[in-house]
């Protein structure tokens, strides 16, 4: 069974600094953000390991032409943001296993 942790400080950071994610997903508060993050972590479309840091994982969920990218170190959520299909391809080719 997978266990994940997202601190209130990280959730607040994502909510305040990644407005494009909040707007596109129509997130109204930090509790809604937490629910979405949990859902992506439990049912991602794709998961990748970092080529350079073995304890870093990327959980991705496709939303039309964009991807929600949630980055974990160990089992701790460090951030979440949107990436374009172009960025997705670049990361996949150069950063992800």
Written in H, E and C, the secondary structure of 35-97 is HHHHHHHHCCCEEEEECCCCCEEEEEEEECCEEEEEEEECCEEEEEEEEEHHHHHHHHHHCEC
What is the pLDDT confidence band of residue 3, given thresholds at 50, 70 and 90? Answer: confident
pLDDT at 1: 47
Residue 2 has pLDDT above 90, yes or no: no
Model pTM?
0.92
Asked whether 78 and 10 are in contact (CB, 8 A), the reply is: yes
Number of structural domains found in the chain: 1
Residue 20 maps to a domain: yes
Q: Is position 2 within any domain?
A: no
3-class secondary structure, 1:
coil
59 within some domain: yes
Digit-coded pLDDT (tens) for 11-59:
999 999 999 999 999 999 999 999 999 999 999 999 999 999 999 999 9
DSSP per residue over 2-14, as a string? Answer: ---B--HHHHHHH
């Amino acid at each position: 069974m997978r266990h994940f942790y997202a601190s209130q400080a990280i959730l607040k950071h994502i909510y305040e600094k990644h407005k494009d994610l909040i707007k596109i997903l129509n997130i109204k508060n930090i509790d809604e953000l937490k629910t979405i993050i949990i859902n992506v972590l439990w049912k991602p479309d794709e998961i990748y390991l970092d080529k350079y840091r073995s304890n870093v994982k990327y959980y991705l969920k496709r939303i039309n032409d964009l991807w929600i990218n949630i980055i974990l170190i160990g089992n701790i959520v460090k951030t979440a943001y949107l990436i374009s299909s172009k960025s997705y391809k670049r990361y996949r080719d150069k950063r992800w296993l």
